[in-house]
């Protein structure tokens, strides 16, 4: 016997959304609006988690094929209005979180934000669900109390402990994809182009000024001998750090030191 979702539950969700949409907010105070934003965001997170739970069941039961689709991703695109990337990401989350029921239940109950839960899923994808499962209760507790920034730090540190070789390999691949160019065009204009882990910004808190020269702190390659090399100092002789494709005065943008400043050589 196959069970179906209760239509009354879906109707109540639609009625609640309709009530919010029809409500006038012209005379509502900012304090009340802030409270509404918090409640709406929590409801969205809970619905996202419930969507993932049902998607896991739908995917595992080959619901897309039964409905005449080629795959779950191709079925989600027209029926749920998703791009290929968004649909594939949801299916990926459903596969991973389906193996971590306590994590998904925490988000469904509204105790953990959906963003924190997805970080646990990414950790499980990196190191394997079998390694995350024994730590699930600890990670779920952290997801229910930590802000996203602190949760990301925790999951990164956990991955470093569980899979240090994988972290090093990812960092080395990211380093190999980095590139930077400073070219002079007409009129003494210099154009900066490149791809880095974190791009430079004049308002970035990671910039430091030293005697008229602006020093950019950019992530560096972690060599196999010195794991303390998290950052390298990259100096630019200009009073202000130029953003990508920005115009700078003549002579600026040429003296860049290499990102690997630790002095250690790869074996």
What string of H, E and C letters represents the secondary structure of 250-261? CCCCCCCCCCCC
- What is the residue extent of each domain of the chain? 7-162, 179-267
Phi, psi of 59 (to 5 degrees): -70, -40
pLDDT at residue 254 tops 70: no
Give the pLDDT band of residue 6 (cuts 50, 70, 90). low
The DSSP H or E segment spanning 214 is strand 213-219
Average pLDDT of the chain is: 77
Q: What is the pTM of this model?
A: 0.66
| Per-residue pLDDT band at 151 (split at 50, 70, 90) | very high
- What pLDDT does residue 5 have? 56
pLDDT at 148: 95
| Per-residue pLDDT reduced to its tens digit, 210-239 | 333 333 333 333 333 344 433 333 333 333
pLDDT in the model for residue 241: 40
| Spatial separation of the C-alpha atoms in residues 149 and 153, rounded to whole Å | 6
Residue 120 has pLDDT above 80, yes or no: yes
At 138 the pLDDT is: 96
Q: For residue 188, how many other CB atoms are within 10 A of its CB?
A: 12
The dihedrals phi and psi of 89, each to the nearest 5 degrees, come to -65, -45
Provide mean pLDDT across the span 93-115: 95
Q: How far apart are the first and last CA of the chain?
A: 63
Query: Region 103-132: what's the mean pLDDT?
Result: 95
34-84 pLDDT tens trace:
999 999 999 999 999 999 999 999 999 999 999 888 899 999 999 999 999
- Which neighbouring-strand residues pair with 46? none
């Amino acid at each position: 016997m196959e069970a179906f979702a209760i239509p009354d539950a879906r109707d109540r969700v639609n009625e609640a959304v309709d009530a919010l949409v029809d409500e006038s907010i012209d005379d509502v105070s900012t304090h009340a609006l802030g409270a509404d934003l918090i409640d709406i965001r929590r409801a969205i997170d809970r619905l996202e988690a419930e969507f993932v739970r049902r998607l896991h069941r739908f995917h595992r039961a080959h619901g897309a094929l039964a409905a005449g689709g080629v795959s779950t991703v191709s079925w989600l695109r027209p029926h749920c209005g998703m791009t290929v990337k968004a649909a594939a990401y949801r299916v990926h989350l459903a596969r991973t979180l389906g193996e971590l029921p306590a994590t998904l239940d925490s988000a469904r109950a509204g105790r953990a934000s959906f963003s924190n839960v997805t970080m646990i899923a990414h950790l499980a994808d990196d190191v394997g669900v079998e390694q995350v499962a024994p730590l699930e209760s600890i990670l779920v507790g952290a997801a229910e109390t930590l802000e996203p920034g602190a949760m990301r730090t925790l999951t990164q540190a956990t991955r470093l402990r569980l899979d240090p070789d994988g972290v090093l390999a990812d960092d080395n691949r990211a380093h190999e994809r980095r590139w930077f160019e400073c070219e002079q065009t007409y009129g003494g204009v210099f154009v900066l182009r490149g791809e880095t882990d974190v791009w430079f910004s004049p308002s970035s808190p990671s910039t430091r000024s030293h005697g008229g020269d602006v020093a950019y702190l950019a992530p560096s390659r972690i060599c196999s001998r010195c794991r303390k090399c998290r950052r390298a100092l990259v100096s630019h002789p200009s009073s202000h750090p130029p953003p990508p494709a920005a115009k700078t005065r003549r002579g600026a943008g040429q003296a860049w030191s290499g990102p690997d400043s630790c002095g250690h050589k790869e074996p």
